[in-house]
Amino acid sequence: MKIFAWLLSLTLSLNILAQDREIEFRDLTFSEALTAADEENKPIFMDCYTTWCGPCKWMAANIFTENEIADFYNENFVCVKFDMEKGEGIELAKEFKIRAYPTLLFVDANRELVMKQIGAPRDPEPYINLGENARSEDYNLIALAENVDENRNDASYMAKYFKVMAAADMVDQEQVDQYFSQIPKDEWLSAENVEIMSSIEHDIESQIFQDLVARSDAYVAVDSTLKDVIGYSIVSALLNEAYSRKETAEEDYLALLNKVKSWEFPGKGLALFMVESRVAQRQGSEDYIEYCLEKVKPNVWDNPNELNSVAWYFFKNTDEPEHLKAAESWAERAVALEPSHHILDTYANLLFKNGKKQKALEVGKQALNVAQAEGADTQAYEEFIATIKEEM
């Protein structure tokens, strides 16, 4: 028993020590960071965040505290972070065209952008790959732009190029069209070319996208993520028309919608729901609620985020018992598919509103526990739990 206890103690100690380092963000102005980058011969790594950005907080708590990532970034970069909505961050956001959060930025001592990535991947490996590309003389943004002309016939190179540019939200659609126009269509299905298609948002009127739709089964068989790419591109195009300020916006939207409805592609029901429900929402709460009651189950029953979004809207905007009963079932389904803290919170709130206080308390505590484990802001969850207890 003593040996077992000693081994258990050692194991726990090793686990505690397993992750004991984090990225050391220096308290520097950007000018001071440039000077340090020059003196130390290192690029700058800049975490561009906002106080309201949930993924930013998750990344800070779960990625920047990984020993492998911390050691790699501390050794190879001058690490700084700026709130893009305060102080110096406001001008930096304009200078480097930062429009989404989190954005990870890499800049050399000459103030040249060498790498950029939007988003917070859940797996630590992409962060190491990103840093390696930023340090590389062949695959940073400057090198890729300089060498693209001489490598336009190299599928492997162009796949790398477009993937990096897409992560930085810097894809040039004309370059994409030019690249594919020089390739026979039977080569469009190669692994490298499918990788290009899966990494970028598409002009849905383009020849490339039309082929994606026409041969969607073949493309998705090579890379299943193309199903989401097709859907996202269609949703984006339709909503751009619907939200346009042009005089012909409604006419153009309906014309494009009818065209899309004539296409057959994977995820069609979900894509059309995402568009039509949002258009209905702009027309008024009653239109949106009526649309969702009819269309949720046949179109988004397997999509936890869309189910959660609709359920939360119902929680906030209707007191009709039948509406709330439906919303509770959607939230319950979303939790079964993906028990994230924000989805659990929606379910808990609907349970509470429907008078199921004990169950609401249990689910609310689950949401709090998950949020704490992910390093998310938990104040709203704690306040909600306190409210439930007061009502019981």
- Which residue in 83, 84, 79 sits closest to 107, CA to CA? 79
Alpha carbons 353 and 311: distance in angstroms, whole number: 12
127, with CB counted inside 10 A (0-12, 13-18, 19+), is buried
Collapse the DSSP code of 213 into the 3-class scheme (helix H, G, I; strand E, B; otherwise coil) and give the result.
helix
Which distant-in-sequence residues (6+ apart) come within 8 Å of 141 by Cβ? 113, 114, 115, 116, 164, 165, 168, 170
Alpha carbons 195 and 202: distance in angstroms, whole number: 13
Decide: 36 and 26 in contact? Cβ < 8 Å. yes
Transcribe 326-378 into DSSP letters: HHHHHHHHHHHH---HHHHHHHHHHHHHTT-HHHHHHHHHHHHHHHHHTT---
Give the position of tokens 């949106």.
288
Decide: 49 and 101 in contact? Cβ < 8 Å. yes
Is the preceding omega at residue 102 within 30 degrees of 0, hence cis?
yes
User: Both tokens of residue 196?
Assistant: 């290009």
- Active-site annotation holds for 48: no
Alpha carbons 257 and 272: distance in angstroms, whole number: 8
Alpha carbons 218 and 216: distance in angstroms, whole number: 5
Which distant-in-sequence residues (6+ apart) come within 8 Å of 120 by Cβ? 55, 56, 58, 59, 63, 102
Any long-range contacts for 183-186 (C-beta under 8 Å, 24+ apart)? 185/211
Alpha carbons 392 and 376: distance in angstroms, whole number: 27
Active-site amino acid positions: 53, 56
